[in-house]
Amino acid sequence: MHEYAVTQSMLNIALEEAKRAGASKILEIRLVIGDLSTIIDDSVQMYFDIMSEGTLAQGARLAFNRVKAEFKCRECGEVFVKPPKGFDCPKCGGLGMPTDRGKEFYIESLEID
């Protein structure tokens, strides 16, 4: 359900930037979303479709760019992409801890008319 709030914030930012640029329509919003953010693309799309009705963003395409989560091994310092299961370092088998990579949620760019 947190997708509702982040979608509302994202839409507000996009509308503000589009108005500042003198746009008559937002054609596309490119989002960067980290795998650890727990944001679900389909939920963002659903809320966006509802919230954007009657705005410059109505009918705009959302483009989702997913960022893989990176972890750093406590034992050897290896930085690695989180494996499908677990958090083990592929180099030494030690426990990996999350880095900041994979927690993103931001607008990368807007395509406007």
Look up residue 113 and give its two tokens. 């008319």
pLDDT, tens digit (0-9, with 9 covering 90-100), for 17-39: 999 999 999 999 999 999 999 99
Residue 44 CB-density burial (10 A; 0-12 exposed, 13-18 middle, 19+ buried): buried
Residue 86 lies in a domain: no
With respect to residue 51, please indicate whether it lies within any of the assigned structural domains. yes
Binding-site residue positions for Ni(2+): 2
Please indicate, yes or no, if residue 63 is contained in any of the structural domains: yes
d(CA 50, CA 58): 9
How many other CB atoms are found less than 10 A from the CB of residue 29?
A: 25
pLDDT in tens, 77-109: 999 999 989 999 999 999 999 999 999 999 999
Q: What is the domain range of residue 36?
A: 2-68+102-112
pLDDT value, residue 77? 97
At 30, which CATH number?
3.30.2320.50
Binding-site entries for Zn(2+): 73, 76, 89, 92
Work out how many domains the chain is built from and give that number: 1
List residues forming the annotated binding site.
2, 73, 76, 89, 92
**Domain membership flag for residue 79:** no
